[in-house]
């Protein structure tokens, strides 16, 4: 027992001080892309043709972050002349259209619903719905409950029952088999309630885009309040979105 106490004292405090202190992510992390809107049209078309997610619009030269899986192919093909991925993990938005971007996103805190901050600013309970995804989004969401992030210190936690929740956090492309389960869970949450679409699959279908077996866009089923892009979203992307939208 004394050895355990001694080890804990030597280990010290491990919880991140984010958001009071910035976190520097590993250099290979791909965050918010920076797009050169004046790039050569032929190079833009080459990137758009090669994009496995078809998320590059050659006319507006914008990237759809709701569909992008951050594979980095466009950055590689253009050698950074059209797209460069930054290490900025702050990508949550309250409006789906804002995810069509040149690399600039509106400040999330200024676009949140004020009554949500008043209602859920001190305590937010979420019910996770895993709607036929690959579990990568769920895994990176679970990381928020580890001592490093310690999500509960912000008054946010995931609960087992939708009847005890203030909203739902949906991941996955929502297969047809999960359509009714998602709606039923949402209906079981008492009003007022919030809906969060997390990851490319829940926002647009992600790699399953266009399949007849999925719903794809959660907004087709129920109105979405907060979008968190990524494949999967980095835990800090989710944490930043939750803190700025509700706190």
Report if residue 201 sits inside a domain.
yes
Closest CA to 200 of 99, 66, 51, 85: 66
3-state secondary structure 87-110: CCCCCCECCHHHHEECCCCCCHHH
- What does DSSP say about strands 226-228 and 194-198: parallel, antiparallel, or unpaired? parallel
Report if residue 41 sits inside a domain.
no
Report if residue 53 sits inside a domain.
no
Report if residue 194 sits inside a domain.
yes
Query: What pLDDT is recorded for position 155?
Result: 93
Q: Phi, psi (5° rounding) for residue 175?
A: -65, 165
Report if residue 180 sits inside a domain.
yes
Q: Could you read off the pLDDT of 22-33 as tens digits, one per residue?
A: 888 888 999 999
Task: Give 4's pLDDT tier (boundaries 50, 70, 90).
Answer: confident
Query: What pLDDT is recorded for position 8?
Result: 79
Q: State the chain's mean pLDDT as an integer.
A: 91
Share of the chain above pLDDT 70, in %: 100
Q: Could you read off the pLDDT of 168-185 as tens digits, one per residue?
A: 999 999 999 999 999 999
Report if residue 179 sits inside a domain.
yes
CATH of the domain at 220: 3.40.50.12280
Report if residue 124 sits inside a domain.
yes
CB 144 within 8 A of CB 102: no
Task: Give 50's pLDDT tier (boundaries 50, 70, 90).
Answer: very high
| Domain coverage including residue 189 | 109-246
Task: Give 214's pLDDT tier (boundaries 50, 70, 90).
Answer: very high
Return d(Cα 95, Cα 86) in angstroms, integer.
Answer: 22
Q: How many domains does the chain contain in total?
A: 1
Report if residue 159 sits inside a domain.
yes
Query: What pLDDT is recorded for position 7?
Result: 82
Q: Could you read off the pLDDT of 147-169 as tens digits, one per residue?
A: 999 999 999 999 999 999 999 99
Query: What pLDDT is recorded for position 78?
Result: 93
Closest CA to 220 of 126, 115, 105, 131: 131
Q: Could you read off the pLDDT of 88-142 as tens digits, one per residue?
A: 999 999 999 999 999 889 888 777 777 787 888 889 999 999 999 899 999 999 9
């Amino acid at each position: 027992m004394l050895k355990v106490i001694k080890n804990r004292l030597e280990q010290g405090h491990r919880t991140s001080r984010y958001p009071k202190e910035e976190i520097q992510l590993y250099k290979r992390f791909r965050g918010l892309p920076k797009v050169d809107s004046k790039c050569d049209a032929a190079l833009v078309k080459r990137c758009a043709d090669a994009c496995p997610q078809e998320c590059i619009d050659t006319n507006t030269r914008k990237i759809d972050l709701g569909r992008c899986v951050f594979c980095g192919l466009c950055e590689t093909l253009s050698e950074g002349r059209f797209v460069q991925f930054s290490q900025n993990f702050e990508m949550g938005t309250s409006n789906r259209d804002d995810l069509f971007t040149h690399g600039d996103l509106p400040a999330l805190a200024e676009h949140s619903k004020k009554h949500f901050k008043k209602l859920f600013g001190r305590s937010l309970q979420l019910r996770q719905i895993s709607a036929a995804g690959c579990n990568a989004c769920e895994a990176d969401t679970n990381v928020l409950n580890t001592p490093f992030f310690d999500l509960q210190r912000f008054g946010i936690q995931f609960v087992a029952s939708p009847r005890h929740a203030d909203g739902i956090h949906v991941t996955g492309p929502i297969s047809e088999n999960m359509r009714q389960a998602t709606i039923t869970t949402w209906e079981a949450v008492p009003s007022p309630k919030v809906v969060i679409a997390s990851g490319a699959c829940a926002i647009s279908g992600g790699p399953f885009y266009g399949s007849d077996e999925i719903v794809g866009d959660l907004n087709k089923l129920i109105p979405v309040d907060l979008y968190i892009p990524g494949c999967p979203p980095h835990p800090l992307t989710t944490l930043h979105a939750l803190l700025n939208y509700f706190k």
